Structure 1
């Protein structure tokens, strides 16, 4: 009777990294890899995007939609960063997409309707095979987006959505059911999976393919008869799921999955390269300007203190002209190497270009903030913070809520609970980002009208040679509980 082969190419978190650089593979090489994989099965291949595609600092929105169209994206689910710039921006992006945008567990507060332009699921067809694709977004999204940007929306249960829509896709005739999520999961050395997506899988009706995203790291394994995959981050990798089906019954006979690393030397269609250059070339003089130099290697870490994280927090304090600053480490990445440091290299590490906010924080609130950061469940979702202008001692072997031993000035003088200090944060953290709203909500934040990248560039130029004078400033005993940090 014969067999049919269905190939699913999956990725997440391209995050606007379309320009080739030392850090990023770039869209031309990514699209070349997709084209090479699609050529193996032209009629039976789907390209699925698991979110965090539209929002970036320099060319957000329609230029990125244009890239997705040129890669022949078939379907996308929303990631948390799709909401970064508010509903009008999101609507403009969704409206420009000729392919379906999915999101089954975010709705408008005003009328309980789905995000405009989205569907909970879609039924696609390749080679006569009907593929139902359900889209879900991490339930942590409200804590990963600046509060006002997500204010018109609310999360609903992903498990309830899966329980409702997976059977509906089967009833509508889906031969293959795919759950395309912007949800994290973590793979232990023995292959065990933990995190939001595996918990959803265990609580949901059976599907054939589960796709994750949201955090770095690649994974491809068959788990309880289903392919579970996660790949992407700037197009550096692609998850490839292959399903072999009986041609008559469309029953799945065999399934496999793997992660393909993108060839950085892949030759893209010249039209695609021209398109990307038309978007990125205007920024080249800005990127290439030297901002200073560095005498050592700095590498960002999320769960522990690093000189790069301290420097970026110093930039924030410099920009706000305050006594203290703090920032989420997940808003930074990468490394700086000894030698000349260009704006491109430094701002890549600084990542998000939020407006800076200032306020007054008490010693008691500062202590409570640190306790909140190191609460195990919250730490597992967010990792640490980087800070400037104070020191802290933390004992990770103590119970949650009792881990912070001291909060002092750099000279060791304790910061009293009722002491009031000026502090600078990003708009994201001022809105209670990383689930710190209980503390951030107590502070009367004031917008500065200035953005973080302006402060980073100015501080680097003021130093000439990049240094961190106050290091270390976090004194730890033991290892943080529930640490999933990928770097």
Structure 2
């Protein structure tokens, strides 16, 4: 007897429900409301369905930020949608921890579905923190499908330590080696849903990034026997195919695509064998948003939009960003503003920050809360850490590697910062020091001038620097910051710090002291 199993997966939704961008409320082909229409159509046409979210669900938009910070008495809006759509399970992603453990526990308690992660355990034990590491779904025909949840183990390198206190993050591959054989013995089909991505090229096996174990999907395919389907995410890529016999899929981000895997099985009773598997991505672009989801999310969205339109102050001068590349090549008033906010909050005179993506537009004349959250998209807090001059130079060299030079001698983005996903947030710009990046020099030797208060930075001298908690923990391949003495912890979100800074002044000045620049001294 032939049967088909239909797996549907979303991943890295990051708080997007409505088909719009919050910076300007313009329509966009994304969000769970559109995905819901696609899910409903496909699930109504098929028996034996399994609906899974692969993590990074509850953080990423003003909708989710506003709920986490002001409206926690209500059910989490993202969980409300998943409950309504009858999801079978969700995987814990790294951004699920951004608002702290109490908020995450509350979110899970409100869910009608289990949250899975076999490799996040209580310190000193192998007991999974979130209850169950897997689920087994038995269909009417008798086929049993096992789903194991895994999460990138690299979270301690990014997350605020207070948000993961008492937790251990085990190696995802070693955890899978433990659970997959056990689950294979109890099921006919084995699915692993891993909130992590691919560390190697799917065709050649060559490394595509530093092998830090942030992403281990390729290793899972190669080293863990018995995986029929591997659902992936974290990297926001669009992938479908097969690696070493495992069918793989990654459905991008923000609900632009729904991942779908069809598994054909043959058998009867207690004996079923997988005969064929096929993965494909289905775009939401041709679908209208589901009205039921729109109605459900409207009360949350209404309050969020009111909050976003709050007037905060105005700009004297020009803080707009017209070209993100130019903003990263020379000091810019908007970047200087963020660093000023950080330095005032921390009480230090050296700061670093990043332009997180190419969608940031800076500030126009009149500033609202919408402007802040559309430019500063992460719920970062700040830390002041003590570093040496050598640490500072190493960090600047890491940032300088963001650039390559094309055949015409023009600066371009180093593919290491754009493949497999854009990593603009890993290029930092500093205030309180003076430095020059020379792109004619080889990577690792590009900082040709580095001064503080008119004097060269000394390798062994100590400096107090404020930066976001992600970078202070070494996130983004900045190991020189990891484990440094924390002088001060500022546990207030940057969005709030920026809003308070503007409210205090009413009008902020667009200033730029040109303390750094990128140049090309010679080429060829």
TM-score normalised to the size of structure 1? 0.81
**Which sits farther off after the overlay, 420-429 or 13-22?**
420-429
Residue 193 and residue 297 in structure 1: after superposition, are their counterparts in 2 closer, same or farther (change >3 A)? farther
Q: Secondary structure at the match of 1:165?
A: helix
Q: Is the 8 A contact 1:57 1:352 kept in 2?
A: no
Residue number among 298, 322, 335 corresponding to 1:297 in the alignment: 322
**Which sits farther off after the overlay, 14-23 or 459-468?**
459-468
Superposed, 1:183-198 pairs within 5 Å as 183-185=196-198, 196-198=216-218
Q: Residues 358-413 of structure 1: CA distance to partner in whole angstroms, max 9, x if unpaired?
A: 4554423312434567899x9899772322214353779858xx545445249996
Q: Is the 8 A contact 1:326 1:385 kept in 2?
A: no
Q: Secondary structure at the match of 2:65?
A: coil
Determine the C-alpha separation between the residues in 2 that align with 1:315 and 1:281: 29
Q: Does 1:88 align with 2:102?
A: yes
What residue is the counterpart of 2:339 in the other structure? 316
Q: Residues 173-202 of structure 1: CA distance to partner in whole angstroms, max 9, x if unpaired?
A: x11111100111268596868552112211
What residue is the counterpart of 1:7 in the other structure? 6
Determine the C-alpha separation between the residues in 2 that align with 1:18 and 1:310: 33
What residue is the counterpart of 1:334 in the other structure? 359
Post-superposition offset of 1:451: 3.1
**Which sits farther off after the overlay, 226-235 or 320-329?**
320-329
Determine the C-alpha separation between the residues in 2 that align with 1:327 and 1:75: 37
What residue is the counterpart of 1:214 in the other structure? 234
Determine the C-alpha separation between the residues in 2 that align with 1:443 and 1:309: 30
Residue 131 and residue 193 in structure 1: after superposition, are their counterparts in 2 closer, same or farther (change >3 A)? farther
Q: Residues 200-229 of structure 1: CA distance to partner in whole angstroms, max 9, x if unpaired?
A: 211111311111111221111123332111
Q: Does 1:273 align with 2:299?
A: no
Q: Is the 8 A contact 2:350 2:464 kept in 1?
A: yes
Q: Secondary structure at the match of 2:295?
A: helix
Residue 312 and residue 132 in structure 1: after superposition, are their counterparts in 2 closer, same or farther (change >3 A)? farther
Q: Does 1:162 align with 2:170?
A: no
RMSD across aligned positions (CA): 3.9
Q: Residues 279-321 of structure 1: CA distance to partner in whole angstroms, max 9, x if unpaired?
A: 12112133235666765534489xx936799834641333423
Residue 427 and residue 263 in structure 1: after superposition, are their counterparts in 2 closer, same or farther (change >3 A)? same
Determine the C-alpha separation between the residues in 2 that align with 1:313 and 1:156: 39
Determine the C-alpha separation between the residues in 1 that align with 2:140 and 2:157: 41
Residue 190 and residue 122 in structure 1: after superposition, are their counterparts in 2 closer, same or farther (change >3 A)? closer
What residue is the counterpart of 2:67 in the other structure? 59
Q: Residues 119-160 of structure 1: CA distance to partner in whole angstroms, max 9, x if unpaired?
A: 222111234321111111112121121123223111222222
What residue is the counterpart of 2:437 in the other structure? 393
Determine the C-alpha separation between the residues in 1 that align with 2:230 and 2:489: 41
Q: Does 1:33 align with 2:38?
A: yes
Residue 373 and residue 162 in structure 1: after superposition, are their counterparts in 2 closer, same or farther (change >3 A)? farther
Residue number among 230, 241, 248 corresponding to 2:261 in the alignment: 241
Post-superposition offset of 1:464: 6.9
Q: Residues 317-353 of structure 1: CA distance to partner in whole angstroms, max 9, x if unpaired?
A: 3342343222466x65634399777542542231113
Q: Is the 8 A contact 1:13 1:234 kept in 2?
A: yes
Q: Is the 8 A contact 1:347 1:456 kept in 2?
A: no
TM-score normalised to the size of structure 2? 0.76
Superposed, 1:50-129 pairs within 5 Å as 50-55=54-59, 56-60=64-68, 62-115=76-129, 117-128=130-141, 129=143
Q: Is the 8 A contact 2:472 2:481 kept in 1?
A: no
Post-superposition offset of 1:450: 4.5
Which structure 1 segments of 5+ residues have no match?
479-487
Q: Residues 1-38 of structure 1: CA distance to partner in whole angstroms, max 9, x if unpaired?
A: 4x222211112111222344226633322222222222
